[in-house]
């Protein structure tokens, strides 16, 4: 059976050049980058080279880049570390949105429940955007931290982070942005953005799983939440994953070099997929998210009258990999908290499927996959 992988927002296949770069180090003599001997110094050189490469691609200084185990750790380190630092300044109020990834939402909720912070969770507009006006209205003299994602992982909506960042800066709050989904298609010059903390993950850009990064702008107050060593300028204890970090650097280098061609092609795939489904699917389909502000590789579609769980199981049987939302929660087959936060009708929420594209996808395979989706929908309808 031919497999159509349309779940790149969950994870991406590793690029062969990334795997080669990692394998070379993994088959080498090894060495701990904190050791003083020759092998340790060689590992440190690899670490520094990767940090220079990634920071150059992101438009920040190497010293502002902290390597982590992935997006979830980066979010946790940013939110908990910044919240604790800000509370020492008398600021214990946090603002976020109801459409954030659970790595942000649940961390903020934990801070409120377990450490006594006050928390404001803002609703989303119907297109999935967070209103800067609502952010402004929610700010109090005690607001110390604002966290709004760059591009939504479920509907692909891009957020007005520049405008929200200026609001945060004017209030004296630290501004954190989860940019895990946008790294593959957006150009970053971090030193030009009003952002204090930004989270990234390698496996969303055809790099290895288990590696990420956190941008910490110079002067940003943040406490370490991991202890036991002086690695990463004493901000993240633990032996660095040299092969994984080198793989991250290789992936981001490929990402930067190919972005100019990749972004329009992903948008072409997205638009063609919508056109084909409108042709072959015999139920109304609705695109969830922003019509104008969206990531080119993600499209969230409601097949009105067709239950999400039933649809996903049938897609899987036909070799089509898609999702109902975040890969961190879709295994539980929960209804999307993002679509609920957008206050969409229940018929849209209960019939939504996310398709996301990337390395290996072609226009030609969309034709075959769309025919299969049309057949699936007819089969499901005929069984009722």
One domain for residues 119 and 34: yes
One domain for residues 199 and 295: no
pLDDT value of residue 330: 46
**By the 8 A CB rule, do 79 and 108 touch?**
yes
DSSP state at residue 348: H
Phi and psi at 200, nearest 5°, equal: -135, 160
Specify the residue for token string 């993950």: 201
User: Could you tell me if residue 156 is left (phi over 0), alpha (psi between -120 and 50 degrees) or otherwise beta?
Assistant: left
pLDDT value of residue 326: 53
**By the 8 A CB rule, do 342 and 124 touch?**
yes
pLDDT value of residue 382: 82
pLDDT value of residue 383: 77
One domain for residues 218 and 346: no
CATH number for the domain harbouring residue 180: 3.40.640.10
Q: For residue 211, what are the domain limits?
A: 16-254
Of residues 304, 329, 267, 282, the one with CA closest to residue 101: 329
Per-residue pLDDT of the chain (384 residues; tens, 9 = 90+): 889 999 999 999 999 999 999 999 999 888 899 999 999 999 999 999 999 999 999 999 999 999 999 999 999 999 999 999 999 999 999 999 999 999 999 999 999 999 999 999 999 999 999 999 999 999 999 999 999 999 999 999 999 999 999 999 999 999 999 999 999 989 989 999 999 999 999 999 999 999 999 999 999 999 999 999 889 988 998 999 999 999 999 999 999 889 888 999 999 999 999 999 999 999 999 999 999 999 999 999 999 999 999 999 999 999 999 998 755 544 555 679 999 999 999 999 999 999 999 999 999 999 999 999 999 999 998 875
Of residues 174, 278, 288, 272, the one with CA closest to residue 221: 174
Residue that is last in its domain, among 254, 289, 315: 254
Q: What pTM does this model have?
A: 0.95
Residue that is last in its domain, among 200, 221, 254: 254
One domain for residues 274 and 377: yes
CATH number for the domain harbouring residue 307: 3.90.1150.10
**Per DSSP, what are the bridge partners of residue 146?**
95, 175
Catalytic residue flag (residue 328): yes
How far is residue 374's CA from residue 51's CA, in Å, rounded to a whole number?
A: 47
pLDDT value of residue 335: 78
Domain count, the chain: 2
One domain for residues 238 and 336: no
One domain for residues 202 and 275: no
One domain for residues 147 and 230: yes
Q: Give buried/exposed letters for 88-113 (b at 16+ CB in 10 A, else e).
A: eeebbbbbbbbbbbbbbbebbbebbe
Residue that is last in its domain, among 213, 228, 254: 254
């Amino acid at each position: 059976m031919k497999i159509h992988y349309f779940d790149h927002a969950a994870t991406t296949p590793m690029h062969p050049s990334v795997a080669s770069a990692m394998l070379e180090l993994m088959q080498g003599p090894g060495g701990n980058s904190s050791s003083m001997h020759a092998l340790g110094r060689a590992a440190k050189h690899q670490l520094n080279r990767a940090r220079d490469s990634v920071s150059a691609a992101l438009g920040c200084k190497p010293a502002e880049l902290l390597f982590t185990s992935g997006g979830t750790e980066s979010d946790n380190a940013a939110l908990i570390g910044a919240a604790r630092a800000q509370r020492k300044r008398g600021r214990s109020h946090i603002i976020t949105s109801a459409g954030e990834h659970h790595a942000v939402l649940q961390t903020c909720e934990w801070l409120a429940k377990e450490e006594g912070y006050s928390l404001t969770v803002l609703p989303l507009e119907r297109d999935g955007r967070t209103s800067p006006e609502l952010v402004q209205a929610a700010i109090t003299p005690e607001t110390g931290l604002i966290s709004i994602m760059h591009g939504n992982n479920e509907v692909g909506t891009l957020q007005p982070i520049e405008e929200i960042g200026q609001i945060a800066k004017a209030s004296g709050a630290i501004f954190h942005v989860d940019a895990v989904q946008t790294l593959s298609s957006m150009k970053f010059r971090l030193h030009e953005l009003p952002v204090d903390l930004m989270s990234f993950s390698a496996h969303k850009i055809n790099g290895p799983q288990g590696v990420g990064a956190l941008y910490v702008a110079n002067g940003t107050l943040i406490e370490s939440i991991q202890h036991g060593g002086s690695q990463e300028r004493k901000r993240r204890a633990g032996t660095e994953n040299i092969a994984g970090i080198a793989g991250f650097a290789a992936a981001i280098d490929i990402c930067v070099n190919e972005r100019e061609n990749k972004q329009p092609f992903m948008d072409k795939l997205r638009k063609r997929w919508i056109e084909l489904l409108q042709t072959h699917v015999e139920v109304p389909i609705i695109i969830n998210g922003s019509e104008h502000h969206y990531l080119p590789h993600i499209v969230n579609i409601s097949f009105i009258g067709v239950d999400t769980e039933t649809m996903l199981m049938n897609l899987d049987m036909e070799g089509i990999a898609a999702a109902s939302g975040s890969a961190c929660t879709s295994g539980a087959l929960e209804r999307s908290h993002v679509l609920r936060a957008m206050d969409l009708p229940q018929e849209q929420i209960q019939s939504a499927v996310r398709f996301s594209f990337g390395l290996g996808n072609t226009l030609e395979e969309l034709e075959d996959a769309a025919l299969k989706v049309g057949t699936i929908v007819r089969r499901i309808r005929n069984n009722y």
